[in-house]
Amino acid sequence: MAKIPVAVLGATGMVGQRFVQLLADHPWFSLEALTASERSAGKPYAEAAKWYLHPPMPEHVKDMEVLPTSGESVEDAEVVFSALPADVAREVEPALAEAGHVVASNASALRMEEDVPLVIPEVNPEHLRLIEVQRDRRGWDGCVVTNPNCTTIIFVLALKPILDSFGVRRVLVATMQAISGAGYGGVPSMTIQDNVIPFIAKEEEKSQTEPLKILGRLEGDEVRPAQIKISASCHRVPVLDGHTVAAFVELEREAEVGDVANVLRRFRGKPQELELPTAPERPIIVEEGQDRPQPRFARWAGSVPGMSVVVGRIRRDQALENGIKFLVSGNNAIRGAAGASVLNAELMKAENLL
């Protein structure tokens, strides 16, 4: 099988680099173009991107010329992965979809558009049917498919099997988020060292809104939002990678802690069934240690490192009816961003949507 040509938009930033890392050696996709802002355009990738990751930059991308972010630059790419800032994405992504590309986007710009699928492949793969609606309405040959913001992905993955088995009425989450979530230069060391910053712009809004769409039911041409009350309080802590979420959940039906652990442990989704290349064997790993999960370890969890989330400390919550509480931690840049888009594209390929 010939590989599918793909491109990465915004390839020099932190999420862009994760895309490059995940795609450099991908069994289905062939990385053909890297774009960035004008400032970087024309340079070889090795020079344009200050590489932040371990392992080092893949050899064969070092000499790829970074192109300006434009339709022309990605002309030959069937799938375009987007790590663009929201304001740029809002212009560029629709244009590319109109030009026939499948845009797998990590940007927030179009996530909440009615006809744009907002997908976690293990949670709501059926929402991809919105692509048809989108094409019909907009007259596009291509399409835009989005994944949620990092925090949302991490706790909604853990919420899904609980919702399916016991029903969920309310969710309150308090987050302890990694600095990488703000981009490389996003958080000065003078700000966060020996400190907590109890605010992340727009994060609470996204974490309260996106889950309702993801967990909503597709009825005809639209998604009916889930009837769950969600509240988020989002905080930055001095951790490089790995968002940790303390969740308090009011269930519809009483559940034993052991039963909750079991449904989480047994949870598998479409990506596991289809054995997608970037799908971890177990999307949710339940750890027993009383001091788990910890982001320094959870950030690499899973058979595909960084693609599983780790749940721990499941216990009764005495402030909510049928309350349980737990912790969940996962890699914000992989499962929470670049890996999420790649998994979306893999799902589309496997479902013959490419």
Complete DSSP assignment for 130-141 = HHHHHHHHHT-S
Of 181, 182, 160, 187, residue with least CA distance to 171: 160
DSSP state of 241: S
Q: Does 47 bind a copy of itself (CB under 8 A)?
A: no
Query: Tokens 């939002």 identify what position?
Result: 225
Q: 95 vs 320, which CB is nearer to a copy of itself?
A: 320
Considering only 1, 72, 185, 258, the residue that binds a copy of itself (CB under 8 A) is: 185
Q: Does 58 bind a copy of itself (CB under 8 A)?
A: no
> Which of these segments, 26-34, 69-77, 148-156, 312-320, binds a copy of itself (CB under 8 A)?
312-320
Q: 76 vs 205, which CB is nearer to a copy of itself?
A: 205
What is the spatial distance between Cα 97 and Cα 336, in angstroms, rounded to a whole number? 23
User: In angstroms, how far is CA 133 from the centroid of its own chain?
Assistant: 23
Considering only 6, 102, 327, 347, the residue that binds a copy of itself (CB under 8 A) is: 327
Cβ 153 vs Cβ 188: under 8 Å: no
Complete DSSP assignment for 83-139 = ---HHHHHHHHHHHHHTT-EEEE--STTTTSTTS-B--TTT-GGGGGHHHHHHHHHT
Tokens representing 232? 């988020």
Instruction: Tell me the closest approach of the beta carbon of residue 124 to a copy of itself, in angstroms.
Output: 21
Annotation says 150 is catalytic: yes
Q: 129 vs 313, which CB is nearer to a copy of itself?
A: 313
Considering only 100, 132, 198, 224, the residue that binds a copy of itself (CB under 8 A) is: 198
Q: 100 vs 199, which CB is nearer to a copy of itself?
A: 199
Phi and psi angles of residue 321, each rounded to the nearest 5 degrees, phi first: -70, 140
Q: Does 187 bind a copy of itself (CB under 8 A)?
A: yes
Q: 113 vs 317, which CB is nearer to a copy of itself?
A: 317
Instruction: Tell me the closest approach of the beta carbon of residue 290 to a copy of itself, in angstroms.
Output: 5
3-state SS of 265-303 is HHCCCHHHHCCCCCCCCCCEEECCCCCCCCHHHHCCCCC
**Pairing verdict, β 243-251 and 168-176:** antiparallel
Tokens representing 215? 């967990």
Q: 189 vs 352, which CB is nearer to a copy of itself?
A: 189
**Pairing verdict, β 309-317 and 323-330:** antiparallel
Considering only 2, 38, 72, 188, the residue that binds a copy of itself (CB under 8 A) is: 188
Q: 193 vs 352, which CB is nearer to a copy of itself?
A: 193
Q: Does 199 bind a copy of itself (CB under 8 A)?
A: yes
What is the spatial distance between Cα 274 and Cα 346, in angstroms, rounded to a whole number? 10
Return the residues of window 272-301 that contact a copy of itself according to CB under 8 A: 290-297, 300
Of 37, 42, 23, residue with least CA distance to 69: 37
Cβ 39 vs Cβ 209: under 8 Å: no
Tokens representing 273? 């069934």
Q: Count interface residues toward a copy of itself (CB under 8 A).
A: 60
Q: Does 7 bind a copy of itself (CB under 8 A)?
A: no
Q: Which string of x and - marks every residue 91-130 that binds a copy of itself (by CB under 8 A)?
A: ----------------------------------------
Q: Does 172 bind a copy of itself (CB under 8 A)?
A: yes
Return the residues of window 213-242 that contact a copy of itself according to CB under 8 A: 229-231, 233, 235, 237-240
Q: Does 52 bind a copy of itself (CB under 8 A)?
A: yes
Annotation says 234 is catalytic: no
> What are 231's strand-pairing partners?
172
- By residue count, the chain amounts to 354
Q: Is 283 left (phi over 0), alpha (psi -120 to 50) or beta?
A: alpha
List residues near a copy of itself by CB under 8 A: 14, 52, 54-56, 170-172, 174, 176, 179-180, 184-199, 208, 229-231, 233, 235, 237-240, 244, 246, 248, 290-297, 300, 312-313, 317-320, 323, 325, 327, 329
Residues with catalytic annotation? 150, 243
